[in-house]
Amino acid sequence: MSGPAPAGGHGPVTDLHVHVQPWEMIRPEVLEAMRKGRDDLDLIRRCFADPEALLEHMDGQGVARMVLINYESPDIMGFTTEANDWVLRYVAAAKERLLPCVGINPRFERDVRGRAERLADGGARMFKVHGPHMLVSPNAYLDAHPALRGLYEVAQARRIPVMFHTGTSIFRGARTKHGDPLEVEDVGVDFPDLDVIIAHGGRPFWTEEAFFLLRRFPRFHLDLSGIPPARLLEWFPRLEEIADRVFFGTDWPSPGVPSIARNLAAIRALPLAPALLEKFTSSNALRLLPPR
């Protein structure tokens, strides 16, 4: 699976950012926002209930691997830390293709370090810090939540990337101020060996700040999810400068993301060299998150 792309074809695609979550936990008003305008709810429910259904759907969409984003946000989204354990169980049947991402909320967990170690032992491949849904700033280890430091130290020591939501969020109760990418700058300064993923590139109004950080810190990476492909080169005109650290992701099935395959096709249709697009969709992810 990690071999070179066949001549004229594509290497295995990784979608770095999908929300396959235990919907039985989700708050009704969040579910309502997710449902709006979708006609594929049955498919989503089937996929969330059964990893085999998701794998089949991935085959149809042209995706080899996915990172399944979960995190603790009981008051805004409805997900307790049980969502973390849920995703570790969910991926058990296909660990080569389904990579679990978990998130610990220091507002509800005192022993962040201990839980991070246990989740890493359980197979977590990524940690998510969703400021607007956790109501925690990425740099809160400096003041309100000193325990958050434990997460970054564990992730740095075990070479597990940490993904930060940057940019807006529309769900009820979400506080976008915690999505300001400049709050991740402290993390870059204080944890220079940590692999950081800037999800959504700060879109729509912090994209310049996000690009500044991506150029400043060699271990910062850009996840394209949530960025309409048609806007990508307008918001990131110098994308080529960070070409080895850019990743295809869709945020499926979030509002405004009807189909993974359509998103992938739109990325591949951008006026960029095929070698760059191959990095974004395949080889960069195989390097950051190698099959194991």
Tell me how far, at minimum, the Cβ of 225 lies from Zn ion, in Å: 6
Contact 127, 187 (CB under 8 A): no
Tell me how far, at minimum, the Cβ of 86 lies from Zn ion, in Å: 17
Place of tokens 């995703």: 87
Binding part of the chain for Zn ion, among 148-156, 210-218, 250-258, 272-280 by CB under 5 A, reads 250-258
b/e 210-224 (16+ beta carbons within 10 angstroms → b): bbebbeebebbbbbb
Choice between 29 and 121, CB closer to Zn ion: 29
Tell me how far, at minimum, the Cβ of 19 lies from Zn ion, in Å: 6
Choice between 147 and 210, CB closer to Zn ion: 210
Contact 203, 235 (CB under 8 A): yes
Spatial separation of the C-alpha atoms in residues 69 and 21, rounded to whole Å: 8
Tell me how far, at minimum, the Cβ of 251 lies from Zn ion, in Å: 4
- Give, for 278, the enclosing helix (H) or strand (E): helix 274-278
User: Residue with the closest Cβ to Zn ion?
Assistant: 251
Choice between 109 and 251, CB closer to Zn ion: 251
Tell me how far, at minimum, the Cβ of 175 lies from Zn ion, in Å: 16
Binding part of the chain for Zn ion, among 59-67, 201-209, 246-254, 277-285 by CB under 5 A, reads 246-254
251 belongs to the binding site for Zn ion (CB under 5 A): yes
Spatial separation of the C-alpha atoms in residues 193 and 219, rounded to whole Å: 7
Tell me how far, at minimum, the Cβ of 101 lies from Zn ion, in Å: 10
195 belongs to the binding site for Zn ion (CB under 5 A): no
The string of DSSP codes covering 16-69 is: EEE----GGGS-HHHHHHHHTT-S-HHHHHHHHH-HHHHHHHHHHHT-SEEEEE
How many other C-beta atoms can be found within 10 angstroms of the C-beta atom of residue 151? 25
| Helix, strand, coil % over all residues of the chain, rounded to 5 | 45, 10, 40
Q: What is the DSSP letter of 281?
A: I
Choice between 15 and 251, CB closer to Zn ion: 251
Spatial separation of the C-alpha atoms in residues 247 and 264, rounded to whole Å: 11
Tell me how far, at minimum, the Cβ of 17 lies from Zn ion, in Å: 5
223 belongs to the binding site for Zn ion (CB under 5 A): no
Binding part of the chain for Zn ion, among 37-45, 145-153, 247-255, 274-282 by CB under 5 A, reads 247-255
Choice between 137 and 254, CB closer to Zn ion: 254
Binding part of the chain for Zn ion, among 21-29, 39-47, 117-125, 249-257 by CB under 5 A, reads 249-257
Provide the binding-site residues for Zn ion, judged by CB under 5 A.
Answer: 251
